């Protein structure tokens, strides 16, 4: 355990004006409060805040932040109070400790809605003082370093939370070293087999190319010295997680990766960066297409460097990063390198935004909290923004727009302004009219073509790559749907009034709305149009408002009750109640004829297959049968922009609970003996049955397995997916795409054809 004077000396080494008394008081107070508390490892609990403080001294943070690190668990885990912290250490430190305490109580990676709400709280706490984030990241880093002492289920939860939220958040703040260590520690916990395979190969390659690395390093140093450039040259091997993501993205074996070895050239000035680049390109062959100038156009997190790749000794490719000392400091420490808390500095985000693009992103994200979007929308928006890499495009007037890889002109339009995105109908890329699905490349000039009468179709959400665009599209679609529901509700209410031979004024309409628990007439009409108000209940309340006796309706006469196997009943209404005749039930690739008030109606099932619990939607057309689809059906994409009414349909499988349904799942497995047995055991543990299997080799180390399984309902399918995600050696476990599901069906059909040929 670090001693009191050792911690103070570490701070004084980079900040001679640090408040020694503050650090000493915080050390003694935290040690006394935590007392005899122990961690899961058996170590004294006080060792944890002490290690967090040590991590922050490596970032050269101010003495107040170091004191907060020592105190960050006192309110949460001891009898210390906020008032006591304020009295002893000041309200500034007390506020930061209190913000960290609120974050400590969060449990991310639970239900999606809860996770989104907790992420809101996290970012709002950071917005009050960004030092909350710095201490929290250091706290998470030490917890990840000691994760092995926790129970297995808690290890998985904390590692997933780290990979989903904290590692990318550190990256967004420019803290690349911390991000890399967090990712590797989480990777080791979540996919230990993958981690071991990659690290073992890395160790072998590092030993094999040790001589090559030293030779290239020596040659670079010599050439730069001869040119009069004072440079520091260092070599490195990429992290296990970055290699794993590149293997997955490029679908190639580890041995085929060409830029495993990297070198950093650190020089005094920006001018020296470009001089060094000239020396490198003059003396070595350059790999085409691998040059990036992040000095001229910095990344979103303030990262600046020149990247190039050369062919060195033995035709070994080597990636070079050329940067100044100041750029290197920001690349390593991110926001911590801005020295934001010097005497007289402020932590107000409006002021800091001009100093750091990372703060500008944080402000935009926090502003998104006030848009009133749903928690699920916010979670998707934030995660998309956290995980982006960038391309840089220009408006015709030369304005630079940074977008993620895979962005389209739709994302470009929404990045300019929400109104431009909503009214976008086309785009010119480098002067040529191109489809809106075109992926933009760095350097593209994009001109948006607009129509003020246009509204974004719902299927744009599948095209857009940015959280901002998706949230705006979803909001516009939701508003348009409410307008359509309002018009339909107005029509249905008018029909009811005409049938009853009555009319109502505005006061009576508001009275009717409140009787049905809606705040006003408009909300009531929208609810009627969305099918949320039962017709019988509406008629009853209308009669009460008008003071008339409600006439009894004749019950619905549904044909062929003896043939019904079960009901598909429209939610919250009996007006469109219908059933499946002849014992046909919906399932994968089913085409089931339904009877609905004398009309012929059918259920269309997409190739993924549906299971009880999946949401079903009924599409109501004028003078036509109701069409029923699962919510994930591709057919619904084309119907988003129509004026047709959407009605939720519920499952009713009473008496048929033992029926099984086919659904397709996919996963990535390590190529080793017994991996298929592990998958089978995990599926069997959830009491599901394997019906069919397709296996594809994606690299020498990994296989992609696509299983068609039989389950009772959505709950059992969820159990299967959870069981597989907890199985070592598996990753990317999910419900299959349409193409993957079709590959299983094609193989099954091909097998059947072969059997027929043998029989004949």
Phi first, then psi, for residue 243 (nearest 5°) are: -70, -40
Q: How many CB atoms lie within 10 A of CB 110?
A: 13
Q: Which residues pair with 662 in a beta bridge?
A: 710
Helix (H, G, I), strand (E, B) or coil at 133: helix
Angle between helices 467-500 and 409-416 (to 10 degrees): 80
- Residue ranges of alpha helices (H) inside 563-696 are 635-639, 675-685
Report how far residue 120's alpha carbon sits from residue 544's, in angstroms, rounded to the nearest whole number.
45
Contact between 585 and 565 (Cβ < 8 Å): yes
**Greatest pairwise CA separation for the chain in angstroms:** 102
Output the CA–CA distances (angstroms, integers) from residue 344 to 228, 341, 347, in the order listed.
40, 8, 10
Contact between 699 and 247 (Cβ < 8 Å): yes
**What DSSP letter does each residue of 40-69 carry, written as one string?**
TTSSBTTHHHHHHHHHHHHTT--HHHHHHH
Which pairing describes strands 306-311 and 285-286: parallel, antiparallel, or unpaired?
antiparallel
Find all residues with CB under 8 Å of 441, minimum gap 6, and list them. 391, 393
- Is 652 one of the catalytic residues? no
Instruction: Using the Cα atoms of residue 725, residue 727, residue 732 and residue 735 in order, give the sign of their dihedral.
Output: negative
Contact between 70 and 26 (Cβ < 8 Å): yes
Report how far residue 45's alpha carbon sits from residue 559's, in angstroms, rounded to the nearest whole number.
72
Output the CA–CA distances (angstroms, integers) from residue 101 to 46, 57, 82, 141, 390, in the order listed.
16, 21, 10, 17, 34
Backbone dihedral region of 597: left (phi > 0), alpha (psi from -120 to 50 degrees) or beta? left
**What letter would DSSP give residue 202?**
H
* Nearest alpha-carbon partner for 662 in 685, 693, 636, 695: 693
Dig out the tokens for 20 from the structure. Answer: 């020694």
Which pairing describes strands 261-267 and 317-324: parallel, antiparallel, or unpaired?
parallel
Helix (H, G, I), strand (E, B) or coil at 702: strand
- Is 77 one of the catalytic residues? yes
Length of the chain in terms of residues written:
760
Of 43, 58, 76, 510, which residue is the catalytic one? 76
Report how far residue 591's alpha carbon sits from residue 585's, in angstroms, rounded to the nearest whole number.
9
Tell me which H or E stretch contains 118: helix 112-128
Helix (H, G, I), strand (E, B) or coil at 639: helix
Contact between 609 and 661 (Cβ < 8 Å): yes
Q: How far is CA 439 from the centre of its chain?
A: 20
**What letter would DSSP give residue 150?**
S
Which pairing describes strands 566-570 and 578-580: parallel, antiparallel, or unpaired?
antiparallel
Report how far residue 103's alpha carbon sits from residue 105's, in angstroms, rounded to the nearest whole number.
5
Of 19, 43, 77, 508, which residue is the catalytic one? 77
Q: How many CB atoms lie within 10 A of CB 479?
A: 11
Report how far residue 329's alpha carbon sits from residue 323's, in angstroms, rounded to the nearest whole number.
10
Dig out the tokens for 490 from the structure. Answer: 């107005």
What is the b/e burial string over 266-278, where b = at least 16 CB atoms within 10 angstroms of the residue's CB? bbeeeebbebbbe
Contact between 120 and 378 (Cβ < 8 Å): yes
Could you tell me what percentage of the chain is helix, strand and coil, using 3-state DSSP and rounding each to the nearest 5?
50, 15, 30
**Residue positions annotated with a catalytic role:** 76-77
């Amino acid at each position: 355990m670090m001693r009191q004077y050792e911690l103070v000396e570490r701070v004084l080494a980079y900040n001679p004006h640090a408040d020694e008394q503050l650090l000493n008081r915080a050390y003694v107070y935290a040690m006394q409060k935590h007392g005899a508390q122990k961690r899961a490892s058996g170590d004294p609990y006080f060792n944890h805040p002490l290690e967090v403080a040590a991590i922050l001294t490596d970032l050269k943070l101010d003495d107040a932040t170091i004191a907060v690190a020592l105190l960050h668990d006192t309110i949460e885990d001891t009898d210390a109070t906020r008032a006591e912290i304020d009295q002893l250490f000041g309200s500034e430190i007390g506020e930061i400790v209190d913000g960290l305490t609120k974050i400590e109580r969060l449990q991310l990676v639970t239900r999606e809605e809860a996770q989104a709400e907790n992420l809101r709280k996290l970012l709002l706490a950071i917005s009050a003082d960004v030092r909350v984030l710095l201490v929290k990241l250091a706290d998470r880093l030490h917890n990840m370093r000691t994760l092995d002492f926790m129970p297995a289920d808690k290890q998985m939860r904390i590692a997933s939370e780290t990979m989903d939220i904290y590692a990318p958040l550190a990256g967004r703040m420019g803290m690349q070293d911390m991000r890399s260590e967090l990712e590797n520690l989480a990777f080791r916990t979540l996919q230990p087999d993958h981690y071991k395979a990659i690290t073992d190969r890395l160790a072998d390659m590092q030993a094999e190319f040790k001589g090559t690395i030293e030779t290239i390093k020596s040659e670079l140093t010599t050439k730069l010295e001869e040119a009069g450039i004072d440079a520091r040259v260092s070599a490195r091997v990429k992290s296990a997680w970055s290699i794993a993501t590149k293997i997955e993205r490029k679908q190639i074996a580890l041995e085929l990766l060409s830029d495993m070895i990297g070198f950093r050239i650190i020089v005094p000035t920006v001018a020296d960066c470009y001089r060094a680049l000239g020396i490198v390109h003059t003396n070595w062959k350059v790999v085409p297409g691998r040059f990036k100038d992040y000095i001229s156009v910095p990344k979103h997190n303030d990262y600046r460097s020149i990247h190039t790749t050369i062919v060195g000794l033995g035709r070994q490719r080597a990636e070079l990063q050329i940067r100044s000392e100041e750029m290197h400091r920001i690349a390593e420490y991110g926001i911590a390198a801005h020295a934001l808390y010097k005497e007289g500095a402020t932590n107000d985000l409006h002021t800091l935004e001009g100093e750091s693009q990372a703060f500008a992103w944080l402000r935009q994200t926090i502003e998104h909290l006030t848009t009133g979007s749903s928690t699920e929308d916010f979670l998707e928006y934030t995660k998309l923004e956290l995980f982006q890499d960038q391309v840089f495009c220009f408006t015709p007037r030369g304005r630079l727009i940074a977008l993620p890889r895979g962005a389209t002109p739709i994302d470009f339009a929404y990045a300019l302004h929400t109104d431009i995105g909503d009214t976008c109908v086309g785009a010119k890329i480098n002067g040529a009219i191109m489809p809106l699905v075109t992926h933009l490349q760095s350097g593209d000039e994009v001109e948006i073509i607009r129509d003020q009468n246009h509204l974004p179709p719902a299927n744009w959400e599948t095209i857009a790559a940015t959280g901002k665009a998706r949230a705006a599209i979803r909001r516009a679609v939701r508003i348009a749907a409410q307008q359509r529901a309002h018009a339909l509700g107005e029509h249905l209410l008018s029909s009811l009034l005409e049938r009853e031979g009555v009319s109502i004024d505005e006061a009576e309409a508001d009275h009717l709305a409140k009787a049905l628990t809606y705040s006003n007439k408009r909300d009531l009409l929208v609810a009627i149009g969305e099918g949320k108000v039962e017709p019988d209940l509406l008629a009853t309340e209308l009669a009460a408002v008008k003071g008339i006796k409600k006439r009894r309706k004749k019950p619905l006469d549904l044909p062929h009750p003896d043939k019904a196997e079960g009901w598909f009943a429209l939610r919250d209404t009996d007006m469109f109640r219908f059933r499946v005749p002849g014992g046909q039930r919906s399932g994968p690739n089913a085409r089931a004829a339904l009877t609905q008030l004398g009309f012929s109606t059918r259920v269309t099932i997409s190739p993924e297959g549906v299971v009880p619990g999946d949401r079903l939607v009924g599409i109501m057309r004028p003078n036509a049968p109701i069409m029923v689809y699962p919510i994930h059906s591709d057919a619904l994409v084309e119907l988003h922009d129509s004026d047709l009414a959407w009605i939720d349909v519920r499952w009713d499988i009473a008496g048929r609970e033992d029926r099984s349904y086919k659904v397709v799942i996919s996963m990535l497995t390590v190529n080793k003996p017994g991996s298929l047995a592990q998958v089978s055991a995990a599926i069997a543990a959830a009491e599901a049955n394997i019906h069919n299997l397709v296996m594809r080799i994606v690299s020498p180390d990994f296989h992609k397995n696509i299983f068609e399984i039989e389950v009772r309902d959505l709950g059992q399918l969820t159990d299967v997916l959870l069981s597989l995600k907890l199985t070592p050696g598996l990753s990317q476990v999910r419900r299959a795409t349409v193409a993957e599901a079709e590959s299983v069906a094609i193989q099954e059909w091909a097998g059947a054809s072969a059997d027929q040929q043998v029989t004949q």
